[in-house]
Amino acid sequence: MTEEIKDWTDVTACPVCEGQDIVEFVTNVPPKIDRPTTSWRLCQGCSHLFVSPRPTDEWLDAYYKKGYRQDTHGEEASDKVPASSAREEIGRAMRIASILDGFRGVGPFRRHLDIGSSTGALLATAMDKFKIPQSVGVEPNEAWRTFATTSFEKYLERKKSEDDGPRDMAFYTNLEEAPGVFDLITISHVIEHIPDLDTEMTITSEKMSADGVLYIEAPFAFGGVSDPMMFPHLHVFTPNSLGVLVEDHGLRVHRLFLEGSQAPFWPPHQHLIVVATKIAPSFQKSEVMDQYIHGRDAVRRSVEQMKQARPTYDLG
């Protein structure tokens, strides 16, 4: 059971646009024994949804280092991760890599930073698909960071026999520690947990190379099969608020879309995705159509591969 939150802080302005035209947002999130109940607000300027009051930064820092994995996966991983989480992350990593395949024309991926890298599955999948020489992960949870480091060492040992050039990896506790700039930065189902969006996005933008690509994926406010407003989410994005967040930090929206509806019930899309760059996107019709066709075919190929292939990344 989660430790009771005793230290709260009020959020008086929108974390995305800093607007103060804020109203209470009534939710139907059912209370859970192992999760606190939070109150939500709606910014009428950019349509962002956020928790206020929210736990203090100090409480959240300790929670993500220790209690978060216990709440979400039922155990604190040590030398291996829960099998259900491993399967989920491999599937998500393959799906994201296929989406990114349509944006390789923006520039080569020489260095990849994954913020909230967890098991390292996305880093390994992207390294495989795009032959990325250096991968860097940011993961605050020590147990999962240690697991990812060990798994990646095994992965790189196997890759020595392949003539793909040098490969390297490193994992850090927080974003500030990650050195250099990156051609690919991914933030998958992490940004909704971050208290200070402005600081996080400022640092992220600074760490993007001039021709770099930023991929952000978050729960869609009105989609999915589970409630996106369940603790410990502090934010829930709409297409408008996610686009505003990116553009307010000097980036250009290359593509903003919904994804993740599954047969046979076809629930509302659960993922809200933005791909952004520092350079202005091209809107020439021929290029847009070529990119669409390439992306569509890449997704089809990925689906077939997922049915037949086993991941080469050792998940313990």
User: Each residue of 260-313: pLDDT tens digit?
Assistant: 765 555 667 788 999 999 876 555 555 555 555 555 555 555 555 555 544 455
Residue 117 has pLDDT above 90, yes or no: yes
pLDDT confidence of residue 84: 67
pLDDT confidence of residue 291: 54
75/182: higher pLDDT: 182
- For residues 242-278, b (16+ Cβ closer than 10 Å) or e, as one string? bbbbbebbebebbbbeebbeeeeeeeebbbbbbbbbb
pLDDT band at 70 (very low <50, low <70, confident <90, very high): low
> What is the H or E stretch that residue 212 is in?
strand 208-219
pLDDT band at 77 (very low <50, low <70, confident <90, very high): very low
**Domain spans of the chain, in order of start:** 80-308
SS3 69: helix
Percent of the chain with pLDDT over 70: 73
Query: Which range has the top average pLDDT, 17-31, 61-75, 99-113, 240-254?
Result: 240-254
- Lowest pLDDT segment from 95-104, 170-179, 241-250: 95-104
Neighbour order of strands in the sheet with 22-25: 22-25, 40-43, 49-51, 235-236
pLDDT band at 157 (very low <50, low <70, confident <90, very high): confident
Residue 132 has pLDDT above 70, yes or no: yes
205/150: higher pLDDT: 205
Query: For 11-40, what is the mean pLDDT?
Result: 85
End-to-end CA distance of the chain: 27
pLDDT band at 72 (very low <50, low <70, confident <90, very high): low
CATH code that applies to domain 80-308: 3.40.50.150
Residue 130 has pLDDT above 70, yes or no: yes
Q: Can you give the pTM of this predicted structure? A: 0.83
pLDDT confidence of residue 231: 87
Query: CA-CA distances (angstroms) from residue 138 to 112, 232, 271, 277, 314?
Result: 11, 19, 22, 21, 19
Give me the residue label for tokens 């793909």.
164
pLDDT confidence of residue 252: 93
**How many CA atoms within 13 Å lie on the side-chain side of 275?**
21
Query: Which range has the top average pLDDT, 1-5, 132-136, 160-164, 165-169?
Result: 132-136
CA torsion sign, 92 to 277 to 249 to 42? Answer: negative
Token pair recorded at residue 38: 């939070």
